[in-house]
Amino acid sequence: MYQQEQHLLAQPGGGSMSTAYQRVADSLRERIRSGELAPGSRLPSEHALMAAHGVSRNTVRQALADLQHSNLVDRQQGRGTFVAVQGVSHVLGDLRSFTETLLDLGVRPGITGIRIDVDEEPPAEAAEFLPGSRIWLVERIRTADGQPFCRMQSWVPDALAAAITPAALQKTQSLYAVMRESLGATPREATEIIRAEAASAEDARLLNVSRGTPLLSMYRWTRDASGRAVEYVRSSSPGDRYQYVIKLQQ
């Protein structure tokens, strides 16, 4: 019954190929995104999923682990697996763009308030990290289903700034996508620092919160595949709209 489950299987209609566990994960992901499986609700049992998809227990567990890695479900020992109750979340160690993270969570990404200018007085961290004497600030507000959740301020070197335009950001919804597709600079590794901060007057105005509202701020130093410094970024979100997830293993 299960002899094919680890082979590549054709999607219905002759579409792209995927492994058995990916097909199970995609099916559950779609049910979560559509609201059929609501936040906090319990997923079908492993046995029920095995029967519904014609796969083994190991395949079902691999699919659930994939959803847990994306923070879509919460697996509780002895109780079962539940749809995660969350705002926007990000797993530490994951260098995907915000757009990729939002899409994986079934949330519609958006960008507003784009501003791209030479920064005459960049933060010391940006000036020390990025090459060249002229540094650009790419600022935007990230939205999830139309609601602002993150103020992003990316400082980039002059050599990369020419291809970063409001039109390109609106089209791709991702600075990293612009870097990859137009500049050949694929973000490969980064160092992050996370701080609790109080919203400044400008943070408050852009995020539609009160001045002094607690923010979760992430500072990231990013290099591309060649080791070149390509971005220093501050991204700040109200604590009730964003969370970081740390997964530990012994």
Q: Helix/strand/coil (H, E, C) string of 134-187?
A: CEEEEEEEEEECCEEEEEEEEEEEHHHHCCCCHHHHHHHCCHHHHHHHHHCCCE
pTM of the full predicted structure?
0.62
| Non-local CB neighbours of 181 within 8 Å, separated by 6+ positions | 172
Q: 77: helix, coil or strand?
A: coil
Domains of the chain: 9-83 (1.10.10.10), 88-245 (3.40.1410.10)
Q: Would you write out the chain's pLDDT as a tens digit for each of its 250 residues?
A: 333 444 333 333 333 335 889 999 999 988 887 778 877 789 999 999 999 999 999 999 999 988 887 767 888 877 889 887 555 444 454 545 566 666 666 667 789 999 999 999 999 999 999 999 899 999 999 887 788 889 999 999 999 998 899 999 999 888 988 998 888 888 889 898 989 999 999 999 999 999 999 999 999 999 998 999 999 999 999 887 766 665 655 6
Q: What token pair was written down for 189?
A: 């590794």
